[in-house]
Structure 1
């Protein structure tokens, strides 16, 4: 069984997942840029049944369906969950203890990418989300 770990800057909150991640990506959407303070965010996805936070409880914020978590002590962003995907948690790649182990495989929301920020890595580029979500209102 693999153990994947992460933490906030100050170490008050630890995270561990006891199974392989199912996902790693870049996100160029405005919401992720503002939440991370970076021109692009990167995430690693785990199933919630395999994951847990240890130590202090993270703070949360956000508008439904997305809720983001952070450390109340140091302010470091940690993760997001989407109510439409109740069995998944997406950790900030930079919070992982060994981020080099989780190379992103796709770029999401490139339609919102900053015009001066380019990553020429040959990965697929999606106009919107890279994680399928259930359609709302039968659409």
Structure 2
């Protein structure tokens, strides 16, 4: 089993997972676009119990029970948690030290994909969420 590591731009916040990713996806929702300032977000999910944090990310409550995290010093986006997925943490690919190791395997919220963004891959597409959530 290999380690999976990530850090913010300034290095004050980092994380390491001893477990393998549980999900890798693009997200086209408005909340992710607003959070990242990009037309699409890419992320990798890990089991919360497999992650070890070094430093304390700042957080704020986003839409729909999602809590977004970022570095309070450099502002780097770290990722998010969702109250309906209490055992998982989703990290922005830009936070990962080797993002090329985590190619997305699907697209979430393609119904909200920007019309000028053309992604011609053969990945599975979901009109809404790509990871099933509880009804909490």
TM-score bracket for the superposition, by shorter chain length: over 0.9
Match of 1:91 in 2: 91
TM-score norm. by structure 2 comes to 0.96
Match of 1:66 in 2: 66
SS in 1 for 2:49: helix
SS in 1 for 2:125: coil
- The alignment covers a number of residue pairs equal to 135
**How does 1:3-14 map onto structure 2 within 5 Å?**
3-14=3-14
Match of 2:35 in 1: 35
Match of 2:106 in 1: 106
TM-score norm. by structure 1 comes to 0.94
Deviating above 2 A after TM superposition, structure 1's stretches of 4 or more consecutive aligned residues are none
Q: Distance in 2 between matches of 1:94 and 1:133?
A: 24
Q: Distance in 2 between matches of 1:5 and 1:61?
A: 23
Q: What is the CA-CA distance between 1:22 and the residue it aligns to?
A: 1.1
